[in-house]
Amino acid sequence: MQQRWTLSWHSTPAFEQSVASREPLLVLASGIVFTALFGLLLSLFARRAETIKVLVDRKTSELAEREALYRLLAENTSDMISRVAFDGTRLYTSPACMRLLGYTAEELLNSNAFSDVHPKQRSRLQAEYAKLARGEIDESKGVFTLHRKDDDWVQAEITLQLVRD
């Protein structure tokens, strides 16, 4: 036995009039609340963005200071320092190369680092470099004969060390 119920609701004219008279006030209050919440959210995002900008600026400044210090050290050391790619291409050479080899740093840029080594010693240096590139060793030192720009030969201790970017 099933029984069906029907519920019918009708508002009274007094209720309808009370809602109608308060409707603009409710819309206004809701708009003010949502605007305030949106403004607060916007303010929080702006503050967060400013904090991030300050942190990025600080880290960028610290990095620039460190780079300037390392460049100052590399450019003023009496030792020749080169940054060499795995294929032997010089990516950077310190100004001390002028004293040791007679070349400017610009002349050595993108040149092959092994080409200055005496032909009889070149394969030994390349073998050590290959071991370093494969990760078999961390560092290698040896004395090699290097060819100068004035066609003279000079003995130099070479230290190979893997530096990761």
pLDDT in tens, 72-102: 887 888 899 999 998 999 999 999 999 999 9
Which segments within the chain are labelled E, that is strand? 82-84, 90-93, 139-147, 153-161
- Section 150-155 average pLDDT: 96
d(CA 35, CA 25) in angstroms, rounded, equals 15
Q: Please determine, for residue 1, whether its predicted confidence score (pLDDT) is greater than 70.
A: no
Model confidence over 101-120: pLDDT tens digits? Answer: 999 999 999 999 999 999 99
pLDDT bin (cut points 50, 70, 90) of residue 139 is very high
CB neighbour list of residue 149: distance below 8 Å, 6 or more residues apart: 101, 102, 103, 107
Environment class of 1 (CB within 10 Å of its CB; exposed 0-12, middle 13-18, buried 19+) = exposed
Q: Please determine, for residue 11, whether its predicted confidence score (pLDDT) is greater than 90.
A: no
For residue 79, the number of C-alpha atoms closer than 13 Å in the C-beta half-sphere is 8
Model confidence over 18-58: pLDDT tens digits? Answer: 777 777 788 889 999 999 999 999 999 999 999 999 999 99
**pLDDT of res. 55:** 97
- CATH number for the region 78-161 comes to 3.30.450.20
**pLDDT of res. 38:** 95
68, 70, 76, 82 alpha-carbon torsion, rounded to 10°: -120
Q: Please determine, for residue 125, whether its predicted confidence score (pLDDT) is greater than 80.
A: yes
DSSP letter assigned to residue 116: G
Q: Please determine, for residue 61, whether its predicted confidence score (pLDDT) is greater than 70.
A: yes
- The distance between the two most distant Cα atoms of the chain, rounded to a whole number of Å, is 116
Of 1-15, 34-48, 109-123, 128-142, least confident by mean pLDDT is 1-15
**pLDDT of res. 110:** 97
